Amino acid sequence: MMQQSLQSTDRGTPNSPRRFVSCLTAAFAAVSFGATAVQAEDMAVVVTIKPIHALVARVMGAVGEPKLLVGGTSSPHTYSLKPSDALALNRARLVFRISEDIEPFTRKIVAALPSSVKVVTLAEAPGVSLLEQRRGNTFETHHHAGEHHAGEGDHDHDHAEAKPVRDGHVWLDPNNGIAIVRHIARALKEAMPDQAATFDANAAAAIAEIEAAAKEIDAELASVKGRPFVVFHDAYQYFEERFGVPAAGAITISPDVQPSAKRLAEIRRKIKELNVRCVFAEPQFKSKLVTTVIEGTGAKAGTLDPEGASVEAGPQAYITLLKNLARGLTSCLGS
Question: Contact positions toward Zn ion, by CB under 5 A?
Answer: 235
Kindly tell me which of 152 and 241 has the beta carbon lying closer to Zn ion: 241
Least distance from Zn ion to the Cβ atom of residue 122, Å: 15
Least distance from Zn ion to the Cβ atom of residue 169, Å: 5
Angle between helices 196-221 and 174-191 (to 10 degrees): 170
Kindly tell me which of 235 and 257 has the beta carbon lying closer to Zn ion: 235
Kindly tell me which of 213 and 235 has the beta carbon lying closer to Zn ion: 235
CA distances from 140 to 84, 263, 265, 302 (A): 44, 15, 16, 22
Instruction: Output the residue with the shortest Cβ distance to Zn ion.
Output: 235
Kindly tell me which of 69 and 235 has the beta carbon lying closer to Zn ion: 235
Least distance from Zn ion to the Cβ atom of residue 200, Å: 31
Find all residues with CB under 8 Å of 10, minimum gap 6, and list them: 104, 107, 108
Least distance from Zn ion to the Cβ atom of residue 11, Å: 20
Considering only CA atoms, which of 44, 40, 73 is closest in space to residue 56?
Answer: 44
Least distance from Zn ion to the Cβ atom of residue 255, Å: 7
Least distance from Zn ion to the Cβ atom of residue 215, Å: 26
Give the separation between CA 16 and CA 20, rounded to whole angstroms: 6
Count CB-CB contacts under 10 A for residue 212.
12
Considering only CA atoms, which of 140, 66, 143, 129 is closest in space to residue 97?
Answer: 66
Least distance from Zn ion to the Cβ atom of residue 320, Å: 18
Kindly tell me which of 235 and 313 has the beta carbon lying closer to Zn ion: 235
Kindly tell me which of 235 and 281 has the beta carbon lying closer to Zn ion: 235
Kindly tell me which of 20 and 79 has the beta carbon lying closer to Zn ion: 79
Least distance from Zn ion to the Cβ atom of residue 166, Å: 13
Kindly tell me which of 120 and 235 has the beta carbon lying closer to Zn ion: 235
Strands 300-303 and 278-281, sheet pairing: parallel
Give the separation between CA 213 and CA 200, rounded to whole angstroms: 20
